[in-house]
Structure 1
């Protein structure tokens, strides 16, 4: 299975398990994440979720060959990007979270990361922009100029720097992100679950009151970039393992 779930008391652990493909997001991963997030939301015995990947890779983002599959009814892109959640969700990050991987992290309420983890939005290196909400959501969790740096350079942000900037809640030693996330979930679940959900709902509304307009602009911009020569060059260069030659066309 490309998405595995397990229960730790009232916590649902959701693990992307496509390590041979760097946990790239395809249709099967989308279906698995959607099912897991539906389970988390619908089961009254579950109070908190943890989203994680493998020991070396959280996720390298959308599968460039097959794509991420169709959006789901409740979760949208990758079964999570557009989801209206009520229960707290914690990201546990080991290794790299890139592109769509970062955009999954941005869907979570809290982030635990190993010191060796890093985050990046490399879409501009392929002639694209982050199209799962990363282009605008990253500015909510990082200072403006740091967010612009990630978007414009496509370079990675280390977990240690991300923690100093307030993006990562808890740093762990390598291999300890999942345990750290479970410890954080235990702290969350020590509180009244309905009160936690109510407080987070109000906070989320303040951070992102209505994304409909920005989503329309993001989707239109992404569609326009897909028609450019630079996009095709970026994909060709990636699969040919060479540096792209940009023409701004």
Structure 2
């Protein structure tokens, strides 16, 4: 039996080494499902804006494998974490009217969903949004058309937290005003953001897309 020459053995070892190296490089360049944002998210908010919001105290989760967030949730008390700036008339710790959210139409194919919101006299119709996250933690980014009194605005609304059986744990939300028509100067300035969270740490799961005051009023009307 003819044994392989030294040069043949060396060539074989070199080939195996190159294959191992190529495989290692391929694995090291694989996408990390816990990091980054989709191109669709980056199309509605810049990394500079994300960094600025994080610096103000907003929690923003990254990743490409978010959980299912469909359902109705209420942030109560809906508490201010960071005013939009020194001109803000509201201080840290101020409790705004409860925020009720309904997430629906989630697609795991392109990580999209819809959101509707109710907050005092304001209603928001979902323009559709995009999800980031991993495990049970998520962040939802949506462009929302807001109507509040005589004002209208286009905002980037961000909702973030951890989905549990009881609701959204460590719920935070913020809005970044992109444009507005605001004759009575009711809304915060264009380019500014205000960050809020659920004051007791859990945006509770609800069965009805109504604020508490609306539900009580409807019950009272039904008794008449």
TMscore range, shorter length: under 0.3
Q: Which has the larger radius of gyration?
A: 2
Q: Whose helix proportion is higher, 1 or 2?
A: 1
Q: TM-score under structure 2 normalisation?
A: 0.25
Q: Whose strand proportion is higher, 1 or 2?
A: 2
Kindly indicate whether structure 1 or structure 2 has the higher relative contact order, using CA contacts under 8 Å at least 6 residues apart: 2
